[in-house]
Amino acid sequence: MSLLDVLRSGVAIADSITKDLQSSVDYKRWKSDDGAGTILYNNATTLLAVVDTSVRANRGQYGIVNMSKPTVTFLNIAALMAATDNLGLSTRDRIVLPGGREVPIESIGGFMDPGTGVPIATEAYLG
């Protein structure tokens, strides 16, 4: 069994045993920007994710260190890829947290699966 197989299995186990801890978040995919400040998003898709509200430092899109408030971890990668039209998350997308607060994605992390070309699990650091 390779390390990749171990990681895939571990994420599948983590997804199954944390289902009761996962929250519903709404994902809004960036659609367009009219250049005049109006940004359009696709309709929201509800996904399950582990939501962590701890504050931590992370490096943002342009290398600037930011204090990220919530972190959202998507363990069901098939559902995430379906919601993102197989493109994965983007820092232009938005997440609506439980309670209704809509926040931008500052940066994205996760181990890439070379067999499928998509992350094994995806972590979004929110602003």
| SS3 category, 101 | coil
Residue with tokens 């990220």: 68
Structural domain of residue 46, as residue ranges?
3-126
| SS3 category, 55 | coil
Instruction: Name the H helices within 1-127.
Output: 3-17, 77-83
Q: What is the pLDDT along the chain (127 residues), one digit of tens a residue?
A: 788 888 888 888 988 898 999 999 999 999 988 878 888 899 999 999 999 987 777 777 677 777 767 899 999 999 999 999 988 999 999 999 999 999 999 889 888 888 888 888 999 999 8
**What CATH number has the domain bearing residue 29?**
2.40.10
Count of domains in the chain? 1
**What's the token pair of residue 121?**
């699990």
Burial-class residue 9 by CB neighbours within 10 Å (0-12, 13-18, 19+).
exposed
pLDDT digits (tens, 9 = 90+) for 46-71: 999 999 987 777 777 677 777 767 89
